[in-house]
Amino acid sequence: MLHRFANPTRFLRFADRIQPWAARFTVIFVIAGLYFALLNSPSDYQQGETVRIMYVHVPSAWMAIFCYTLLAISSGVALIWKHAIADLIARSTAPIGAGFTFLALITGSLWGKPMWGVWWVWDARLTSVLVLFFLYLGYLALQEAFDDRERGIRASAILALVGLINVPIIKFSVDWWNTLHQPASVIKISGPAIHSSMLIPLLLMALAFKGYYVWLLLIRIRGEINFMKVRALQLRQVHDDESAFRGQDQTMNNGVG
């Protein structure tokens, strides 16, 4: 199963089928999500209208963690099995995940100011998400840091795997340490502690973000596959030039002999 998709041509065929559906899915859920988030959901009895920030903030934060987990897993697969597409998934996920983490931080700040009275506090949840953002940036920087592409892949994959330790820290930071941030209210063993009128826009926006991720991921992977083909052609050209040169050398020697 894993190795079936290591073949770029097969992957592209699969992407061709999925991409139009990802696009439709995203558009539909963005429209439905925004409708419920902005127009058809109540304001919070404590937080007033600022609760609407939640419909951007929480899905962004979920995606930040989801993307990082996927980035680390596919990095591991690329590292161990030299799976070409797994590396491309990791590489293409990184900028999208960094974008979502940035959004989680910024919208969190914009929510924190009116509700907590501060833009930022150095508590466990906020700090661990900031670390997540730097892990994404570090991953992106490391990939480009080496002339040898393979070394870049290896170094960044190792960083991604080591950084995975941060994911449970983010998840449980609100339980382990004192924080201004509220604890989990949707993903709980006892079921979501949030009213359905707020849960609906939240889930719709979460699905919209998920669809957006798949759509953009496929676009980026296509680009990466194109560059992979360019590199293969370049290598072949170098190889051909060398053998052409050797051939020339041979005929010259023959001429002399």
Partner 1 sequence: METAANFFNMGGYAVFVWSSYGIAAVTLIGLFCHGLRFLQSSTAKLNAKRATRHRNPDSNNLEPDNEA
Of 58, 105, 4, 70, nearest to 214 by C-alpha is: 70
Could you tell me the smallest distance in angstroms from the CB atom of residue 142 to partner 1?
Answer: 19
Q: What is the 3-state secondary structure (H, E, C) of 110-132?
A: HHHHHHHCCCCCCCHHHHHHHHH
From 37-45, 128-136, 138-146, 152-160, give the range in contact with partner 1 by CB under 8 A: 37-45
The answer to whether residue 197 forms part of the interface with partner 1 (CB under 8 A) is no
Q: What is the 3-state secondary structure (H, E, C) of 139-197?
A: HHHHHHCCCCHHHHHHHHHHHHHHHCCHHHHHHHHHHHCCCCCCCCCCCCCCCCCCCHH
- Which of residues 66 and 111 has its CB atom nearest to partner 1 in the complex? 111
Member of 19, 50, 179, 185 binding partner 1 (CB under 8 A): 50
Of 66, 187, 68, nearest to 139 by C-alpha is: 68
The answer to whether residue 53 forms part of the interface with partner 1 (CB under 8 A) is yes
CA atoms within 13 A on the CB side of 162: 10
d(CA 45, CA 208) in angstroms, rounded, equals 27
- Length of the chain as a residue count: 257
The interface with partner 1 within residues 73-132 (CB under 8 A) comprises 95-96, 99, 102-103, 106-107, 110-111, 113-114
d(CA 133, CA 247) in angstroms, rounded, equals 53
- Which of residues 107 and 143 has its CB atom nearest to partner 1 in the complex? 107
Could you tell me the smallest distance in angstroms from the CB atom of residue 82 to partner 1?
Answer: 22
Could you tell me the smallest distance in angstroms from the CB atom of residue 120 to partner 1?
Answer: 14
The answer to whether residue 140 forms part of the interface with partner 1 (CB under 8 A) is no
Please work out the total of residues on this chain that contact partner 1, with binding judged by CB under 8 A.
Answer: 42
d(CA 92, CA 218) in angstroms, rounded, equals 9
Q: Give me the 215-234 binding string for partner 1, x by CB under 8 A, dash otherwise.
A: -x--xx-xxx-xx-xx--xx
Could you tell me the smallest distance in angstroms from the CB atom of residue 123 to partner 1?
Answer: 20
* Interaction site with partner 1 (CB under 8 A): 38-39, 43, 48-50, 52-53, 56-57, 60, 95-96, 99, 102-103, 106-107, 110-111, 113-114, 212, 216, 219-220, 222-224, 226-227, 229-230, 233-234, 236-237, 240-241, 243-244, 247
